Amino acid sequence: MDPKGKVALITGGARIGQAVAQALAGRGCDIALTYRGSRDAAETAADFARTAGVRALVIRADATDEGQVRAAVHDTAGQLGRLDILVNMASTYVRTPNPSAAEWDAAFAANARGAFLFSIHAAPIMKSGGGGRIVNTSDWLAISGRPHYPGYTPYFASKAAVTALTESMALDLAPDILVNAIAPGPILPPPDLTADEDREVLAATPLARWGGAAEIAKAALFLIETDFVTGESIRVDGGRHLA
């Protein structure tokens, strides 16, 4: 699929979502961005898109609330005229030692339920327009079957669910809609990362560096532009899964 002249909805307009939005806008794709708390980041991405000469829309939506998800999808299609691409980037990454049922539910709601809800509401619109692309966000640990870090059970399980969701929906929505996932590794260092932790990550990553948000944008563009890849989860982790 050529993104030019198409409409993409990106959930989560901060950090990596900004890079994906900018990459698509640079290809001539109109953009809608949803946010829950990071409005400034979404507006920054929208301003970049408008500067690039495409239309941009910013919508507040909680990805765990079906009513808000439905409204965001239909507002996108209504205001921008169509919906061809969905990039599910909204997620949480929270350490939960001895997790409670509430923490389990919160992880699955943010990481798996949101992707599911946006997909089921976007798919009929995509089909009516001739087809589309859905790109989810998993995690290199989950698709590699390596929990590795203790204290992240709800997160790990919810990201594994995203991988399963990707494969199952790819089958259900074929041949009109291609569904794939990106599984990031060390892309952006957390703001509270210590120098020792940074050295540990670099030492465990064969490419010996953080990837940067642009690498996720490149992967997203590939999964949008391909016409014969579906049901895949692609690791973008600098070889981290090999170490």
Contact 141, 148 (CB under 8 A): yes
Cα–Cα distance, 69 to 78 (Å, whole number) = 14
Token pair recorded at residue 100: 């409670």
How would you classify the pairing of strands 177-184 and 132-137? Answer: parallel
Q: Is 183 exposed, middle or buried (0-12, 13-18, 19+ CB in 10 A)?
A: buried
If one counts every other C-beta atom within 10 angstroms of the C-beta of residue 142, the result is 23
Picking from 1, 32, 33, 16, the residue whose alpha carbon sits closest to that of residue 217 is: 16
Distance from CA of residue 114 to its chain's centroid? 10
Task: Decide if 155 is catalytic.
Answer: yes
Picking from 127, 138, 231, 132, the residue whose alpha carbon sits closest to that of residue 187 is: 138
* Longest CA pairwise span in the chain (Å): 52
Distance from CA of residue 66 to its chain's centroid? 18
Residue 10: strand, helix, or coil: strand
Annotated active-site residue in 35, 93, 149, 155? 155
Residue 8: strand, helix, or coil: strand
Contact 236, 185 (CB under 8 A): yes
Catalytic annotation, residues: 155
